[in-house]
Amino acid sequence: MDLFEYQGKQFFARYGMPISDGEIAFTVDEAVAAAERLGTPVMVKAQVHTGGRGKAGGVKFAATIDDVRSHATSILGLDISGHLVGRVWIEKASDIAEEYYASFTLDRSAKKHLGMLSVEGGVEIETVAADNPDAIAKIWIDPVDGLDEAMARDWVGAAGLPEAAVEGTVTILQQLYRAYVEGDADLVEINPLILTSGGRVHVLDAKVTLDANSIFRHAEYAVYDETQTRDERETAAHARGLQYVGLEGSVGVIANGAGLAMSTVDVVNQVGGNSANFLDIGGGANAEVMAGALEVINNDPAVRSIFINIFGGITRGEEVAKGILGALERVDIDAPIVIRLDGTNADEGRAILKPHLSENLQMAPTMLEAARRSVELADSVEEKVL
């Protein structure tokens, strides 16, 4: 779960980190009212779940209320890499002397937490890593030990931060680590962490990704789930509890198991087609789950054919076949369907499907063959439409 910048800052503030006063605004008038309460100068910042806001014109300095009005007008509704700006964060402008970078994330390879700190903040850390890797001080933290003050101090020393920034940064890093661990975050990043001309260390941006698996111990994260960026199809699938990712193609994919679903998308691509989605219906394949999956796919106007790829493990072929037929009774499907059914009692399952087969409900013996058939069908429907 990705947090908007302002949500991330509010999250950080709970752990004592210093953030600027600010307010969220959904309209130009709200932005202006917020700026009047805060007092100019302020920053007007687009809230989107993607990077590159500054370059896209989504972050602007406003010296006056008129500036706030004109910037909010241009930023609200702006398209930043496919993300429409629906809200702006208005915050007191800061007086920046220096910009740093700080983050924690899991190093899956080392199986430890990785902290990164750099005096080269304000630019993308990938750029720093490529151009000047020595400018990033890294620390690997054993989750059992955690990060204590002495470790934080050594780390800040290794990063070469100026004396004026040391105390403030040591404190913020410990707070940031606590937020990362106690908050069950996949990533916490401050870029930039600034030193003001007044000599204070201050959090100027916040990027936070939370682990959706940890919701059971963070009931308050339901708020963030509601503000995730999802397209219409993803929202519909999410509501049905399906693992769905929207893609750009025309072959709708339904499979059981994440690996098989990924593999299905790959195979469609290998035979010259493009999948409209990744959809994992999980281990079983009963009529209800299958019907939900078909509804989601059917509502996608880009779908020209549907490839159902099921491998029966514990779930037997007969149950899968009955599930598919039951689902087809419940949902009117526009696009032709190709089924590949394999695994436990596949023959029995195929026998159940056989009397129902038609031009719009086909069966193929292998994954590759089913993929080819789906792509052919999608192409022929496309020609008809044209």
Partner 1 sequence: MSIFIDAETKVVYQGLTGSQGRYYGLLNRDYGTQVVAGTNPRKAGTDVDGIPVYASVAEAVAESGATASCIFIPAPGVRDAVLEAAEGGVQFIVAITEGVPAHDEADLFNRLKRDHPGVQLLGPNCPGIISPGQANIGITAGHIALPGGPVGIVSRSGTLTYQALYELREKGIGCTTCVGIGGDPVPGTSFIDCLRAFEADPETEAVMMIGEIGGSAEEEAAEFIAEHMTKPISAYVAGVTAPPGKKMGHAGAIVSGGRGTAAAKMDALRDAGVRVGLNPTEAGEHMADIVSELTTKRS
* Spatial separation of the C-alpha atoms in residues 235 and 194, rounded to whole Å: 37
Binding flag, residue 360, partner 1 (CB under 8 A): no
Q: Considering the rule CB under 8 A, would residue 113 count as an interface residue with partner 1?
A: yes
- C-beta of residue 341 within 8 angstroms of C-beta of residue 280: no
Stretch that binds partner 1, among 17-25, 37-45, 85-93, 361-369 (CB under 8 A): 361-369
Rounded to the nearest whole angstrom, what is the least distance from the CB of residue 246 to partner 1 in the complex?
9
Please name every residue paired with 218 in a beta bridge, in sequence order, or none if there are none.
Answer: none
Q: Is 130 in the site for partner 1 (CB under 8 A)?
A: no
Does 106 bind partner 1 (CB under 8 A)? Our answer is yes
3-state secondary structure (DSSP) of residue 88: strand
Of 251, 365, 265, 364, nearest to 297 (Cα)?
Answer: 251
User: Helices 346-353 and 317-330, interaxial angle, to 10°?
Assistant: 30
Q: Which part of the chain contacts partner 1 (CB under 8 A), choosing from 10-18, 29-37, 164-172, 305-313?
A: 305-313
Q: Give yes or no for a contact between 89 and 24, defined as CB atoms under 8 angstroms apart.
A: yes
Which residues does residue 22 pair with via DSSP β-bridges, in sequence order?
Answer: 91
**229 is a site residue for partner 1 (CB under 8 A):** no
Neighbouring CB atoms inside 10 A of 256's CB total 25
Question: Does the annotation count 382 as an active-site position?
Answer: no
Q: Which of 5, 91, 100, 101 is catalytic?
A: 101
Residue 126 interacts with partner 1 (CB under 8 A): yes or no:
yes
Residues 79 and 163 sit within 8 Å (Cβ to Cβ):
no
Instruction: Collapse the DSSP code of 294 into the 3-class scheme (helix H, G, I; strand E, B; otherwise coil) and give the result.
Output: helix
Binding part of the chain for partner 1, among 8-16, 59-67, 104-112, 294-302 by CB under 8 A, reads 104-112
Q: Judged by CB under 8 A, does residue 368 bind partner 1?
A: yes
- Please report how close the Cβ of residue 262 comes to partner 1 at its closest, in angstroms: 4
Measure CA 18 to chain center: 26
Q: Does 289 bind partner 1 (CB under 8 A)?
A: no
The C-alpha atoms of residue 54 and residue 200 are separated, in whole angstroms, by 24
**How many H-runs (helices) and E-runs (strands) does the chain carry?**
13, 18
| Binding of partner 1 by 100 (CB under 8 A) | no
User: Does the active-site annotation cover 220?
Assistant: no
Which of 189, 295, 318, 319 is the catalytic position? 189
Compare residues 261 and 291 and give the one whose CB is closer to partner 1: 261
266 binds partner 1 (CB under 8 A): yes
Where do contacts with partner 1 occur on this chain (CB under 8 A)? 106, 108-109, 111-113, 126, 142-144, 181, 184, 186, 211, 213-214, 216-217, 243, 245, 247, 255-263, 265-267, 269-270, 275, 278, 280, 283, 311-314, 342-344, 366-368
